[in-house]
């Protein structure tokens, strides 16, 4: 893997927090501004290390070898921003009284299990990488992130966003940024950045369906449905089935995700719209998975996984390059049958050219 640059990735995009921060609400705006400031500090630290060529401890973290069981450790920040915090649960230890800790522990395990059972991959790096997470980060911190080394979860403000461990797909989404980091390492800007986000949304959705034992037609295809607070008019943070419909709210605004290239958003915000335009490849995956039916993590998920980990996906890949490689992956694994046709039809529907 070339150009290894661990990336700071959050589940709530800056443009959403910007909307809350400028809402004028005396209770919610200060909390959103604090979350934005906290995220900016983390993001700046990562960018400076890369720009200055400072050796980053993240880049040398790896597993000791493939294993068939996860190595999890959950830490409690006790409302501070000091990472990783105090270790409160290790691998194999019994559940405690903190439901957040227990949910994160289970979510890490479910993601590890899906990767191993379905795709034969031992953890994020294929070498049994330990899975580290911190909970109760900051005070009223309204986000969750992957910082290149571990996962971090805030408790939310209780009004717009609640405990970010509530949604297993959010846990899996952030962990999947690590999977991308250790494989294609997609550049976190523009279309490759949107693909980076989309892969995490797809893996998050697959883990949720895997945990619930759902088939493609039974799934709701919503991401983060359980983290929206009581003040929000919406069903989730994002929808793979119908991008642009997840929320329409006075505080958050309207879900800006497009479903096809006709509505592609050109912007310099949010790293070139990585959380916005990810709706297009998200919808392509939904279309392919529902066309094939059955368990989404099997055929459709296998094709996406093969594309991400096959070694041919450049870190600067655009939608068209990714789409072409999904067709190649489908053909190599399944031949010229319905799998290939479903993937091709999906990309045609979202109007991504496949060459």
End-to-end CA distance of the chain: 26
Residue 121 in tokens: 């991959």
Instruction: For residue 57, give every residue at least 6 positions away whose Cβ sits within 8 Å of its Cβ, in sequence order, or none.
Output: 149
Distances (CA, A) of 211 to 110, 136, 141, 155: 7, 24, 27, 23
Can you tell me the distance from the alpha carbon of 290 to that of 304, in angstroms, rounded to the nearest whole number? 14
Q: Quick one: CA dihedral 309, 286, 145, 50, positive or negative?
A: positive
- Phi first, then psi, for residue 156 (nearest 5°) are 80, 175
**CA 55 and chain centroid, separation:** 26
Task: Please tell me what DSSP assigns to residue 224.
Answer: S
Can you tell me the distance from the alpha carbon of 251 to that of 231, in angstroms, rounded to the nearest whole number? 8
Q: Which of 67, 83, 63 is nearest to 75 (CA)?
A: 83
Beta-bridge mates of residue 302: none
- Helix H segments across 247-337? 270-273, 279-292, 299-309, 319-334
Can you tell me the distance from the alpha carbon of 353 to that of 355, in angstroms, rounded to the nearest whole number? 6
For the chain, give percent helix, strand, coil, nearest 5: 45, 10, 45
SS3 73: strand
**Size (the chain), residues:** 355
* Marked catalytic residue, from 159, 275, 321, 339: 275
* Marked catalytic residue, from 174, 197, 321, 339: 174
| 275 is an active site residue | yes
Instruction: For residue 36, give every residue at least 6 positions away whose Cβ sits within 8 Å of its Cβ, in sequence order, or none.
Output: 14, 17, 18, 21
Q: Which residues does the annotation mark as catalytic?
A: 174, 275
């Amino acid at each position: 893997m070339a150009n290894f640059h661990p990336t700071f990735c959050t589940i709530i995009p800056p443009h959403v927090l910007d909307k809350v921060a400028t809402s004028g609400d005396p209770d919610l705006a200060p909390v959103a501004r604090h979350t934005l400031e906290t995220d900016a500090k983390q993001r700046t630290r990562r960018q400076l290390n890369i720009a200055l060529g400072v050796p980053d401890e993240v880049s040398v973290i790896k597993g000791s070898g493939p294993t068939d069981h996860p190595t999890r450790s959950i830490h409690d920040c006790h409302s501070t921003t000091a990472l990783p915090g105090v270790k409160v649960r290790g691998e194999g230890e019994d559940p405690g009284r903190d439901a957040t800790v227990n949910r994160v522990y289970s979510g890490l395990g479910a993601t590890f299990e899906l990767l191993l059972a379905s795709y034969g991959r031992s953890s994020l790096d294929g070498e049994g990488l330990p899975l580290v997470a911190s909970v109760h980060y900051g005070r009223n911190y309204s986000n969750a992130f992957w910082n290149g080394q571990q996962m971090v979860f805030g408790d939310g403000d209780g009004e717009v966003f609640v405990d970010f461990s509530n949604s297993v797909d959010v846990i899996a989404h952030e962990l999947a940024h690590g999977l991308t980091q250790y494989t294609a390492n997609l550049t976190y800007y523009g279309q490759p950045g949107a693909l980076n986000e989309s892969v995490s949304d797809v893996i998050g959705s697959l883990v949720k369906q895997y945990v619930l034992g759902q088939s493609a037609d039974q799934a709701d295809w919503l991401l983060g449905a359980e983290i929206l607070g009581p003040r929000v008019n919406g069903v989730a943070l994002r929808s793979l089935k119908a991008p642009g419909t997840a929320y329409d709210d006075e505080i958050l605004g309207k879900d800006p995700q497009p479903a096809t290239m006709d509505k592609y958003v050109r912007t310099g915000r949010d790293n070139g719209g990585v959380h916005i335009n990810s709706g297009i490849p998200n919808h392509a995956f939904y279309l392919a998975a529902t066309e094939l039916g059955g368990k989404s993590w099997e055929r459709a998920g296998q094709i996406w996984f093969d594309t991400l980990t096959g070694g041919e996906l450049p870190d600067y890949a655009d939608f068209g390059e990714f789409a072409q490689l999904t067709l190649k992956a489908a053909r190599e694994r399944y031949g010229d049958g319905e799998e290939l046709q479903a993937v091709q039809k999906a990309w045609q529907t979202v109007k991504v050219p496949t060459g």
